[in-house]
Amino acid sequence: MSTSSPAPQAVTTRLLSLRNVNKSFGAVAALTDINLDVAAGEVVAIVGDNGAGKSTLVKVLSGVHLPDSGTITFESNPVSIPDPTAALHLGIATVFQDLALCDNLNVIDNLFLGRELRPGRLNEAAMETRSWELLRQLSAKIPSVRIPVASLSGGQRQTVAIARSLLGNPKVIILDEPTAALGVAQTAEVLNLVERLRERGLGVIMISHNMADVRAVADRVVVLRLGRNNGDFVVGEVSPEEIIAAITGATDNAVTRRTAQIDLRSASADKGVTRS
Ligand SMILES: Nc1ncnc2c1ncn2[C@@H]1O[C@H](COP(=O)(O)OP(=O)(O)OP(=O)(O)O)[C@@H](O)[C@H]1O
Ligand SMILES: [Mg+2]
């Protein structure tokens, strides 16, 4: 076999890489020397305590904040992401936690808001067909695309928000706490959806506080602590205790492990998680 052609790194298609990314707000160092890699068809969970820098990282990637220093590489090219439009043009879509849906509009209108099919005016029939196509690809359970999103469940609303972000054909999709406000069945629905995104070859970045969700759906888990990287694990090769120890900064031993579990439980309680 010839070795003459320079072999690109063919095994995994690395879509997005951050190296030594820094971001401060005045005296607060929100991100310090952050490294992150996301490949096509990979789900990377980002976890960390409150104030760890997760949202700041999402905002750097979605063009809300410019980093102070460091490099961002997208599909092997160094890029800068000065504003949200630049992120979308690159192929980085973000579903923010508030979803930014218009409650009084129906599913189709929410999906196409601001990007109605051209030319000329809205082509209602084409938009409806495209809406169903998209939702079917995502195996989404939406009863009708003509009902206001206000009448949908939390999981269905999350689905609409994700479907909406897919219309721009992104390569990387960032989900900020996609299951935070959801019950068990709806969470399962959204995690299914994340698997569909991976099957489509997207790189998925999922911010989460929920260890069960992370372990159910992520390939890798990246831990941030006090604005720094504090662990990058392959899910399946790491115990929940190890992840929690990385989140809390605890040295891994039986005593701190127990403390960490208690911490996590109280953190979940703070987040309004229903306890039985
Ligand atoms: N716009 C801002 N101005 C000043 N400080 C900020 C700003 N945004 C974030 N910070 C600070 O940066 C640090 C990281 O915050 P960030 O919101 O990224 O954390 P997080 O991991 O998303 O936390 P949470 O889990 O509570 O959402 C915190 O100390 C926060 O107070
Ligand atoms: Mg946050």
Query: Is the CB of residue 13 less than 8 Å from the CB of residue 73?
Result: no
Expressed in angstroms and rounded, the spacing between residue 96 Cα and the centre of ligand 2 is 10
Q: Is the pLDDT of residue 43 over 80?
A: yes
> Predicted confidence band at 7 (pLDDT cuts at 50, 70, 90)?
very low
pLDDT digits 0-9 by tens, 174-189: 999 888 878 888 888 8
Fold of the domain spanning 44-238: Rossmann fold (3.40.50)
CA atoms within 13 A on the CB side of 21: 31
Q: What percent of the chain has pLDDT over 90?
A: 53
Calculate mean pLDDT across residues 47-73.
96
Query: Which residue's CA is minimally distant from atom 27 of ligand 1?
Result: 50
Calculate mean pLDDT across residues 2-17.
59
Nearest ligand to residue 46 Cα: 1
What is residue 99's predicted lDDT score, i.e. its pLDDT? 76
Atom of ligand 1 nearest to the CA of 57: 18
Calculate mean pLDDT across residues 11-38.
93
**Is 0.85 surpassed by the pTM of this model?**
no
pLDDT digits 0-9 by tens, 231-275: 999 999 999 999 999 999 986 555 455 555 555 555 555 444 443
**Region of residue 259 (left: phi > 0; alpha: psi -120 to 50; beta: else):** alpha
For residue 99, CA distances in Å to 9, 95, 126, 161, 253 come to 36, 6, 24, 6, 40
pLDDT digits 0-9 by tens, 107-142: 998 888 876 655 555 677 888 888 888 888 877 788
Nearest ligand to residue 57 Cα: 1
Beta bridge partners of 46: 207, 222
> Does the CB atom of residue 107 touch ligand 1 within 6 A?
no
Domain boundaries, the chain: 44-238
Expressed in angstroms and rounded, the spacing between residue 52 Cα and the centre of ligand 2 is 8
Of 15, 8, 61, the residue nearest 41 (C-alpha): 15
Expressed in angstroms and rounded, the spacing between residue 190 Cα and the centre of ligand 2 is 19
> Does the CB atom of residue 55 touch ligand 1 within 6 A?
yes
Expressed in angstroms and rounded, the spacing between residue 20 Cα and the centre of ligand 1 is 18
Cα separation, 151 vs 138, in Å, equals 20
Of 75, 92, 74, the residue nearest 83 (C-alpha): 92
Expressed in angstroms and rounded, the spacing between residue 224 Cα and the centre of ligand 2 is 12
Mean pLDDT of the chain: 85
